[in-house]
């Protein structure tokens, strides 16, 4: 079958790979009917999430149809339409019982301390082949697949595979109560879902920080007040818009590939530049090259710093932007002296996906509103390049397999 594989840092390609098969009685094989590209995939191709095994199929967001099931799969049968949760969990260990699925003790073959198991990730996450393929093997199918209600579209289900639950979890970890003020750093797909979720939870004001015009415009369309960090200082602006206090909650929806301000008052000085360079080298010692393609973040801990500086005293910083295990810089002194609460996690998808699909079914929210491109799977490599460069219009890309025509939105 055809699949999108990681070949080396700075290179993905479509390749012929072996068809997946049932390897364990709890497995299912799913024929993928739609998949999408995520900011997490970009960290891996840029090399800021290291340790990818060449030949690994990328991708962890998909909807599809169950094609075969192992004897121990109880909840699914051939022909069921399903959304695939990005993270893999056994459903039975102590952590899964507590709905901390991203902490599952059994799913990761590298052991209980190795971290979250997910599709299409680096060596330490399994590794498991991903979902940007014609078919995928789904381990622990009963706790990784969720049935899609008949009235929910493939597009809405696809965005509930990862980014909607992640944005929702970010808002939930932020302890947002009606009337709260919330700042969301990063207006990529995850940031957009965090903005929507903060509003669903009753935030009175949501501030959205980025520097890419169409992403800020999308945030503004959702009712957020936007801050372009290359034009104005985000920390000072957030303070001045919240009576000098700072927002009740700051959400990091950027992660390790954060870029410093390259113009305006927030542009780093010489000493900060040196610190950023050290920080960057610790994260990704092997640069991919020059130019705009696969450009690594030049200030990996910039957003963490802004979140801690901007949030009100005794407020909450909620981190869903991804950082690799070697990330070591966090402004702990300031956080401590401001009495902050900090939460950070990979999404426990299976906890959220059923609930969020129900919200979609009831018409409370349509995550597919942020889908900006629908393209052929055969063009996936080009799509990766456009999304990586954050080109106008490339906020979220759905890839359709086979000959299905691209119905650009
Ligand atoms: N925790 C989880 O389970 C989980 C799940 C999905 C994605 N993620 C992570 O969430 C993050 C966002 O994903 P995405 O798909 O939206 O990625 P993306 O790359 O499309 O979006 C990141 C956005 O951050 C902006 N940005 C860069 N530097 C910034 C700064 N200093 N201040 C404010 N904004 C800045 C970029 O311009 C971009 O719009 C990634 O780190 C991804 O790995 C985490
Ligand atoms: Zn994702
Ligand atoms: Zn488990």
Q: Which ligand is nearest to the CA of 106?
A: 3
CATH number of the domain enclosing 325? 3.40.50.720
CB-ligand 1 contact for 115 (6 Å cutoff): no
CB 189 within 8 A of CB 395: yes
Give the Å distance between the CA of 159 and the centre of ligand 2.
Answer: 9
Q: Is 397 in the pocket of ligand 1 (CB under 6 A)?
A: no
Domain that holds residue 307: 167-344
Query: Last residue of some domain: 328, 344, 360?
Result: 344
- The answer to whether residues 96 and 104 touch, using CB atoms and an 8 Å cutoff, is yes
Separation of CA 41 and ligand 3 centre (Å): 24
**Cα-to-centroid distance, 58 and ligand 3 (Å):** 23
Report pLDDT for 285.
Answer: 73
pLDDT of the chain, 409 residues: tens digit per residue: 999 999 999 999 999 999 999 999 999 999 999 999 999 999 999 999 999 999 999 999 999 999 999 999 999 999 999 999 999 999 999 999 999 999 999 999 999 999 999 999 999 999 999 999 999 999 999 999 999 999 999 999 999 999 999 999 999 999 999 999 999 999 999 999 999 999 999 999 999 999 999 999 999 999 999 999 999 999 999 999 999 999 999 999 999 999 999 999 999 999 999 999 999 888 877 767 667 899 999 999 999 999 999 999 999 999 999 999 889 899 999 999 999 999 999 999 999 999 999 999 999 999 999 999 999 999 999 999 999 999 999 999 999 987 554 444 4
Ligand 1 center to 263 CA (angstroms): 20
User: Of 42, 159, 188, which is best to mutate to test ligand 1, by the most ligand atoms within 8 angstroms of its C-beta?
Assistant: 188
Maximum pairwise Cα distance, the chain:
62
Neighbours of 270 (CB within 10 A): 6
Torsion sign, CA atoms 311, 317, 321, 323:
positive
Atom of ligand 1 nearest to the CA of 320: 1
One-letter-per-residue 3-state SS of 94-138:
HHHHCCCHHHCCCCCCCCCCCCCCEECCCHHHCCECCCCECEEEE
Q: Is 238 in the pocket of ligand 1 (CB under 6 A)?
A: no
Pocket test for ligand 1, best of 160, 253, 350, 391 (most atoms within 8 A of CB): 253
Question: Do residues 87 and 347 make contact, with C-beta atoms less than 8 angstroms apart?
Answer: yes
Q: Are residues 197 and 298 in the same domain?
A: yes
Using the mean position of ligand 3's atoms as its centre, give its distance from the Cα of residue 108 in Å: 9
Alpha-carbon torsion angle 393, 301, 42, 10, nearest 10: 120
Separation of CA 204 and ligand 2 centre (Å): 28
Q: Is the CB of 235 under 6 A from ligand 1?
A: no
212 CB less than 6 Å from ligand 1?
A: yes
Rounded to whole angstroms, the Cα distance separating 293 from 122 reads: 21
For residues 294 and 378, membership in a common domain is answered with: no
Q: What is the 3-state secondary structure (H, E, C) of the chain?
A: CEEEEEEECCEEEEEECCCCCCCCCCCEEEEEEEEECCHHHHHHHHCCCCCCCCCCECCCCEEEEEEEECCCCCCCCCCCEEEECCECCCCCCHHHHCCCHHHCCCCCCCCCCCCCCEECCCHHHCCECCCCECEEEECCHHHHEEECCCCCCHHHHHHCCCHHHHHHHHHHHCCCCCCCEEEEECCCHHHHHHHHHHHHCCCCEEEEEECCHHHHHHHHHCCCEEEECCCCCHHHHHHHCCCCCCCCEEEECCCCCCCCCCCCCCCCCHHHHHHHHHHHHHHCCCCCCCCCCCCCCCCCCHHHHHHHHHCCCCCEEEECCCCCCCCCCCCHHHHHHCCCEEEECCCCHHHHHHHHHHHHHCCCCCHHHHCCEEEEHHHHHHHHHHHHCCCCCCCCEEEECCCCCCCCC
pTM tops 0.95, yes or no: yes
Distance between CA 29 and CA 139 in Å, rounded?
9
Residues 113 and 176 in one domain: no
Do 281 and 330 reside in the same domain of the chain?
A: yes
Based on the domain organization, do 179 and 272 belong to the same domain?
yes
118 CB within 6 A, ligand 1: no
Same domain, 186 and 139: no
CA of 269 to the centre of ligand 2 (A): 33
Query: Is the separation of the CB atoms in 79 and 65 below 8 Å?
Result: yes
Residues 89 and 178 in one domain: no
Evaluate whether residue 205 is within a structural domain: yes
* Distance, CA of 354 to CA of 180 (rounded, Å): 26
Q: Which residue has the tokens 């893999």?
A: 88
Is the distance from CB of 247 to CB of 176 less than 8 angstroms?
no
56's tokens: 């690994």
Query: Other C-beta atoms within 10 Å of 127: how many?
Result: 23
Rounded CA-CA distance 249/321 in Å is 15
Are 316 and 386 in a shared domain? no
Assess whether 282 and 314 both reside in one domain: yes
Residue 256 lies in a domain: yes
Same domain, 336 and 389: no
For residue 409, being part of any structural domain is answered with no
The reply to whether 407 falls in a domain is: no
**One domain for residues 273 and 129:** no
Q: Domain end: 298, 317, 344, which one? A: 344
Closest among 157, 158, 128, 101 to 348, alpha carbons compared: 101
- Residue 201 and residue 71 share a domain: no
Ligand lying nearest the CA atom of residue 207: 1
d(C-alpha 319, C-alpha 300), whole Å: 13
| Total structural domains within the chain | 2
């Amino acid at each position: 079958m055809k699949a999108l594989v990681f070949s080396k840092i700075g290179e993905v390609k479509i390749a012929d790979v072996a068809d997946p098969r049932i390897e364990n009685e709890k497995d299912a094989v799913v024929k993928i009917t739609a998949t999408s590209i995520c900011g997490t995939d970009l960290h891996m191709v840029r090399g800021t999430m290291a340790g990818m095994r060449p030949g690994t199929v990328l991708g962890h967001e998909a909807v599809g149809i169950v094609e075969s099931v192992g004897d121990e799969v109880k909840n699914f049968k051939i022909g069921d339409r399903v959304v695939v949760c990005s993270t893999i969990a056994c459903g039975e260990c102590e952590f899964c019982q507590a709905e901390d699925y991203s902490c599952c003790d059994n799913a990761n073959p590298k052991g209980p301390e190795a971290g979250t198991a997910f599709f299409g990730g680096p060596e330490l996450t399994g590794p498991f082949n991903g979902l940007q393929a014609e078919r995928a093997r789904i381990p622990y199918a009963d706790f990784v697949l969720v049935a899609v209600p008949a009235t929910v579209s493939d597009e809405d289900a696809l965005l509930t595979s990862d980014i909607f639950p992640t944005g929702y979890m970010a808002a939930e970890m932020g302890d947002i109560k009606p009337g709260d003020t919330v700042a969301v750093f990063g207006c990529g797909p995850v940031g957009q879902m965090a903005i929507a979720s903060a509003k669903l939870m009753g935030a009175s004001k949501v501030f959205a920080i980025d520097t890419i015009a169409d992403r800020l415009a999308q945030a503004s369309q959702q009712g957020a007040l936007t801050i372009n960090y290359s034009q104005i200082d985000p920390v000072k602006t957030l303070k001045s818009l919240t009576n000098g206090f700072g927002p009740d909650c700051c959400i990091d929806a950027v992660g390790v590939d954060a870029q410093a301000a390259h113009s305006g008052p927030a542009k780093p000085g010489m000493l900060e530049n040196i610190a950023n360079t050290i920080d960057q080298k610790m994260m990704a010692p092997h640069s991919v090259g020059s130019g705009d393609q696969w450009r690594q973040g030049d200030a990996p801990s910039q957003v963490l710093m802004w979140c801690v500086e901007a949030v009100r005293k005794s407020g909450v910083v909620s981190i869903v932007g991804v950082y690799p295990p070697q990330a070591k810089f966090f402004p702990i002194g300031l956080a401590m002296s401001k009495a902050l609460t900090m939460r950070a996690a990979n999404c426990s998808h299976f906890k959220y996906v059923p609930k969020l699909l129900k919200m979609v079914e009831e018409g409370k929210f349509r995550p597919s509103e942020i889908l900006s491109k629908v393209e052929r799977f055969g063009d996936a490599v080009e799509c990766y390049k456009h999304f990586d460069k954050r080109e106008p219009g490339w906020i979220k890309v759905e890839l359709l397999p086979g000959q299905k025509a691209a119905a650009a939105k």
